[in-house]
Amino acid sequence: MSQTPAPIRLIIYQQELIRLIETLRRAEYNLGTAQQLDAQQLLLRLAQQNFLPDHAAALKPFLTPLLCHTPQEQNRFDGYFEPWAAQLEHMLRAAGKPAHKQATSPHTPLKAADIPPKTPVSSSST
């Protein structure tokens, strides 16, 4: 099971899906706003049904029919999808790691150096 919670995975997948689609468009895949929205909606539905994959590579069978419209696009898709999925895995691992305890603790005591010096209040009468 992934250490990254499903809501965070969904956010990462949706944000990075845009990058994949832009890459495919530059590679002359015929993708419009409708395909982008369909793919985003698919991710949302998977999350709502608790079926959002733990690993980005598992998204391939879901995304391929939405993003590839010809056999040639399907044949070339791996060359774009694999690096994208690998980068997502790095992002998911980073998102699943706990942050440094002291940096996130609301109970970290203040040190004298953390408190700004008092500045004298000048009174001006006009």
d(CA 79, CA 93): 22
Question: What is the value of pTM for the model shown?
Answer: 0.72
pLDDT in tens, the chain (126 residues): 446 788 999 999 999 999 999 999 999 999 999 999 999 999 999 999 999 999 999 999 999 999 999 999 999 999 999 999 999 999 888 887 765 443 444 444 445 554 555 555 555 555
Two structure tokens written together for 113: 């150096």
Look up tokens 């994959």; give the residue.
Answer: 53
